[in-house]
């Protein structure tokens, strides 16, 4: 596909306006336009196959320069491609410029391209006023054709309005459900916090009921293990005596005689 794109580019670059006036020049220009259109069609298909569809419009316009000069077949492929990838807004201005050009309104493909542009670009984007203005401003349509297109636009507008009302009703129904879920979650969180508070209070009460003498003895033994102090050594007796005195002073400072818990052996 990359090679096909390169060959199409080389072919479009090599084409030029034929020399000579008169009928021969007209035939040459017609052949030139057909060959150039065919090369662009192949290039568009190759770019789409390589998933380079974002480059298609700019790639085509580098050979036709303005949207009004695009061949009907090239414009049709671009509209179908960007509609398929759900990017119809890319063709919004290009299609409008091509359809408003008076030279294009006399082409036999104009009616089908206008219908395609309405169905694939304007109506999916909700541009109903622009669609009605485009149909009413088309001089090539008679009153019956205009009424047919306007009826199609009206039906699409009604479907669009019904779809919006349905989405709004669904959102309104979803809001109370969301509030209910949030209320249930808040209630569960509050219950968990209350249970956690009770657990912490129970643990604190249990801690205060522990015998302090056993706690001090366990702390002392842990210190001996960590420091590796030998209690039977004569050099450690003064240190142990000072440590016991320190524990007694801490005991007297923390607990008053009135609230001091009884020490059980």
Q: Which of 3-7, 15-19, 116-120, 157-161 has the lowest mean pLDDT?
A: 15-19
Residue 33: pLDDT above 90?
no
Provide the pLDDT for residue 68.
93
* CB of 211 closer than 8 Å to CB of 264: yes
Please list the alpha-helical segments (H only) found in the chain: 2-14, 22-49, 56-64, 72-84, 92-100, 102-105, 110-117, 128-136, 143-208, 212-227, 237-254
Instruction: Note the pLDDT tens digit of each residue in 207-243.
Output: 555 555 566 666 666 666 555 555 555 555 566 666 6
Identify the residue whose tokens are 């008076």. 102
Greater confidence, 185 or 58?
A: 58
Angle, CA of 130, 131 and 134, to the nearest 5°:
85
Q: Phi/psi class of residue 83: alpha, beta or left (left: φ > 0; alpha: ψ in -120 to 50)?
A: alpha
CB 236 within 8 A of CB 230: yes
Residue 58 has pLDDT above 90, yes or no: yes
Asked whether 67 and 83 are in contact (CB, 8 A), the reply is no
How far is it, in rounded angstroms, from Cα 265 to Cα 246?
20
- Specify whether the CB–CB gap between 155 and 132 falls below 8 A: no
pLDDT in tens, 145-179: 888 888 888 888 888 888 877 777 666 665 555 55
Mean pLDDT (the chain) is: 77
State the pLDDT at residue 73.
95
């Amino acid at each position: 596909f990359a090679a096909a794109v390169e060959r199409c580019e080389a072919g479009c670059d090599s084409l030029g306006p034929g020399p000579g006036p008169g009928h021969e020049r007209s035939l040459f220009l017609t052949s030139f336009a057909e060959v150039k259109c065919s090369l662009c069609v192949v290039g568009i298909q190759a770019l789409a196959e390589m998933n380079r569809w974002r480059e298609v419009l700019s790639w085509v316009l580098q050979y036709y320069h303005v949207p009004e000069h695009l061949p009907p077949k090239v414009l049709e492929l671009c509209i179908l491609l960007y509609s398929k990838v759900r990017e119809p807004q890319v063709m919004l201005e290009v299609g409008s410029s091509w359809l408003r050009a008076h030279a294009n309104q006399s082409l036999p493909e104009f009616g089908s391209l206008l219908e395609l542009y309405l169905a694939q670009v304007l109506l999916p984007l909700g541009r109903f006023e622009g669609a009605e203005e485009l149909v009413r401003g088309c001089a090539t349509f008679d009153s019956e054709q205009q009424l047919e297109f306007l009826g199609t636009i009206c039906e699409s507008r009604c479907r669009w309005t019904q779809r919006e009302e349905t989405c709004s009703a669904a959102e309104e129904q979803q809001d109370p459900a969301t509030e209910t879920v949030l209320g249930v979650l808040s209630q569960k969180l509050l219950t968990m916090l209350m249970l956690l508070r009770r657990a912490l209070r129970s643990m604190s009460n249990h801690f205060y009921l522990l015998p302090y003498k056993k706690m001090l003895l366990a702390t002392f033994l842990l210190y001996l293990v960590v420091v590796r102090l030998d209690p039977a050594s004569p050099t450690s007796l003064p240190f142990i005596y000072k440590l016991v005195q320190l524990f007694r002073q801490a005991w007297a400072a923390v607990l008053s005689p009135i609230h001091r818990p009884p020490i059980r052996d």
